Chains A and B, each alone.
Chain A
Amino acid sequence: EPEVTQTPSHQVTQMGQEVILRCVPISNHLYFYWYRQILGQKVEFLVSFYNNEISEKSEIFDDQFSVERPDGSNFTLKIRSTKLEDSAMYFCASIQGSDYGYTFGSGTRLTVV
């Protein structure tokens, strides 16, 4: 079964450092997403990406965040200057079309110290 792949599975970084979280969506999918889940809380939408541009973003997705699809297969989330409160699981997801359920990757656990 096709998978969404995320790397790394766990990243520890110092406050103020930049991090890049990587995702390889399913190859024929057209819509890509980042979500995050702070420990013990619900899954929150960050950003959606379609046709090489952001289609929607949440209030959480401020100027510290950016997304890219640099080479047609990878989909990255960059956090420019991490804060302690950025510690969370970050999930990448993709869908083939709007009628389909999402496929999520297994997530990257980001710990900011």
Chain B
Amino acid sequence: RKEVEQDPGPFNVPEGATVAFNCTYSNSASQSFFWYRQDCRKEPKLLMSVYSSGNEDGRFTAQLNRASQYISLLIRDSKLSDSATYLCVPRTYNTDKLIFGTGTRLQVFP
């Protein structure tokens, strides 16, 4: 089983739509979770941390289900500028490294 699994997409949605991405992780020792976005040929940028109780930042909502080892990201009212690849990134404290999957590609069209 891959350490991080995401639907690669692409998800093609119109402006204003709500879109949800899911991610599963295999390492039950994972303790911190993050969503990053990566634009083509750019660096990953931290979008938000994911907390056990779930958290919201503007149009973005992240949820964590530790029992199912599942993380989600909901984007409301999609903007053209949301077009990017979204990377779910778990981290464990017994290792320094972040494990990236291939991410989910989102394309928002006018």
Contact = CB atoms under 8 A, between A and B. Distances in A.
Interface of A: 31, 33, 35, 41-45, 48, 50, 55-56, 58, 89, 91, 98-99, 101-107, 109
Considering the complex of A and B, which 7 residue pairs feature the smallest CB-CB distances, nearest first? A48-B96, A45-B97, A101-B46, A104-B43, A43-B100, A56-B96, A101-B34
B30 interface: no
Interface string B74-110: 0000000000000100000101111111110000000
Contacts of B42: 106-107
B96 A91 contact: no
- Classify the secondary structure of B's interface with A: loop
Interface size class of B (residues with CB under 8 A): 20 to 34
B41 interface: yes
Contacts of B95: 56
Contacts of B36: 101
B28 interface: no
B72 interface: no
Nearest to B43: A104
B49 A101 contact: yes
**Most A CB within 10 A of own CB, among B87, B95, B100:** B100
Interface in B27-49: 32, 34, 36, 38, 41-46, 49
B100 to A, nearest CB: 4
Contacts of A99: 32
B10 to A, nearest CB: 14
Given A41-B102, A43-B98, A102-B44, 15 more contacts: A31-B96, A33-B96, A42-B100, A42-B101, A42-B102, A43-B44, A45-B98, A45-B99, A50-B96, A56-B95, A56-B97, A58-B97, A102-B46, A103-B46, A104-B44
B41 A89 contact: yes
